[in-house]
Amino acid sequence: MAAAQEPAAGASQEALEEGRMLAYTCMGCHGIPEYRNAYPAYRVPKIGGQSQEYLTNALTEYKRGTRQHPTMEAQARSFSDEDIANLAAFLSSVNE
């Protein structure tokens, strides 16, 4: 993962560190260049550097089941709202 840019607006160092720890699992798919998901088959998007708002919305939608992908739904459901906020803050601060 690339170096962090400026911290996300309003995010504490503690929140960013917690997000970094939570993002470790995400990088198993989202951190591999040109990685393709087996089900359904598509290119897995890069998430580092996405906007905090986009990441929060996407994870929340997966958690609620309004955005569907079996793996992402399972991952998102394991996160609290605070976890999602921390993940989004950290991931939005990295430059991939």
Q: Look up the CATH number of the domain holding residue 80.
A: 1.10.760.10
pLDDT of residue 29: 87
| pLDDT at residue 85 is higher than 80 | yes
The answer to whether residues 22 and 96 touch, using CB atoms and an 8 Å cutoff, is no
In a domain, 79, yes or no: yes
The residue type of 95 is N
Question: Do the domain assignments include residue 45?
Answer: yes
The total number of structural domains in the chain stands at 1
Q: Which residue range is the domain that position 32 belongs to? A: 13-92
> What phi and psi, each to the nearest 5 degrees, are found at residue 50?
-65, 160
Is the pLDDT at 17 greater than 50? The verdict is yes
DSSP 31-55: TSTT-EEETTEEEPPP-TT--HHHH
Residues 6 or more apart in contact with residue 50 via CB below 8 angstroms: 91, 92
Query: Using CA atoms in the order 73, 25, 85, 45, what is the torsion angle rounded to 10 degrees?
Result: -70
Query: Domain for residue 55, yes or no?
Result: yes
Percent of the chain with pLDDT strictly greater than 70: 86
